[in-house]
Amino acid sequence: MSTDVDLGRVLTAMATPFDIEGDLEVGRAEELANLLVANGNDGVVVGGTTGESPTLSHDEKLELYRIVRRAIPDAVVVMGAGSNDTRSSMELAHDCQELGADGVLAVVPYYNKPPQKSLVAHFKAIAGAIDIPVMLYNVPSRTVANMAAETTIELSHVSNIVALKEASSDLAQVAAAAAGVAPGFRVYSGEDSLTLPMMSVGAYGVVSVAGHFAARGIRAMIDAFLEGRVEDAARLQYRLLPIFKGVFCTASPIPTKALFRVLGLDIGDTRLPLDMSEITDTQVQALKKMVDDLGELALTLGVPASTTA
């Protein structure tokens, strides 16, 4: 497989809808996936951090992935397959391939705190279990372990490891990785507020949380930068910065789910150990104002006709 695989420039890490009983809400997941693509995303990442993957069972993940793949057949669907157990990750990655994933997301193992050589072995094992693209995910604020630029560079030469979602907040590390990776390997921002700075040192796009509400604006910012209109890109970054920060005013995805509710699309509560009572009405109303202030850059509610039979 060539590493020159284009998964799009704007992907949203989709929140997982639950019903009033806290069970997976399949119909609302279909609706949300359609909404995100209709509002400017190239596709979605399902079963990631924003999707509350640690609280989803293996069977729930497969059900979620199946419905999202069916709902948006012409858009990119990257399915979360990473965990802190290599063997389980390999099994889930294989299941994702069977479900028609365009790629899998594999996070740096959490809790185990693996050193760099162990990370290489872990990700090579996952990639070796499947024939589809792998997107690495470095988020040391949640996993404790950081994947060094040298490790990313080494892994970029594995034929089907094609991308990195980088959320280390370390621009020097991003630049070092982007400068040394194999041709065609793509670095994605995993932090909305750093997408534009990261693109200036070689990133390709973003796996976003704010893309639930502002994918049009994010795409306009990226397009402006790519066209050399750097000042326009910066102005869009300034407009978008409040929602970039706002969706992390408390533990994600609590703000995302609370904001969708007030906007009129209820995708349920978070599962424990994340508690929706952590966000206040004042914070939710402030988030709503951020979306309202974005105007044409914000999402439009209203979903195209279902693509499922």
3-state secondary structure the chain: CCCCCCCCCEEEECCCCECCCCCECHHHHHHHHHHHHHCCCCEEEECCCCCCHHHCCHHHHHHHHHHHHHHCCCCEEEEECCCCCHHHHHHHHHHHHHCCCCEEEEECCCCCCCCHHHHHHHHHHHHHCCCCCEEEEECHHHHCCCCCHHHHHHHCCCCCEEEEEECCCCHHHHHHHHHHCCCCCEEEECCHHHHHHHHHCCCCEEEECCHHHHHHHHHHHHHHHHCCCHHHHHHHHHHHHHHHHHCCCCCCCHHHHHHHHHHCCCCCCCCCCCCHHHCCHHHHHHHHHHHHHHHHHCCCCCCCCCCCC
46 band by pLDDT with thresholds 50, 70 and 90 = very high
In a domain, 157, yes or no: yes
Inform me whether the pLDDT recorded for 153 exceeds 70. Answer: yes
**Does residue 276 have a pLDDT over 80?**
yes
List the domain range (segments joined by +) for residue 17.
Answer: 10-228
Give the number of domains in the chain.
1
Q: What is the pLDDT of residue 3?
A: 52
Is 21 among the domain residues? yes
Average pLDDT over residues 186-212: 97
Rounded to whole angstroms, the Cα distance separating 98 from 162 reads: 19
Q: Is residue 105 in some structural domain? A: yes
Judged against a pLDDT cut of 80, whether residue 91 lies above it is answered with: yes
Helix pair 58-71, 26-38: axis angle to 10 deg? 40
Predicted pLDDT of residue 309: 34
**Catalytic positions, written as ranges:** 137, 165
CATH number at residue 128: 3.20.20.70
Mean pLDDT value of segment 221-238: 97
Quick check: is 265 in a domain?
no
Nearest in space to 204 (alpha carbons), one of 188, 190, 192, 191 = 188
Residue 273 domain-assigned (yes or no): no
At residue 292, does pLDDT exceed 60? yes
For residue 252, being part of any structural domain is answered with no
213 within some domain? yes
Q: What is the mean pLDDT of residues 208-233?
A: 98
Per-residue pLDDT for 185 more than 50? Answer: yes
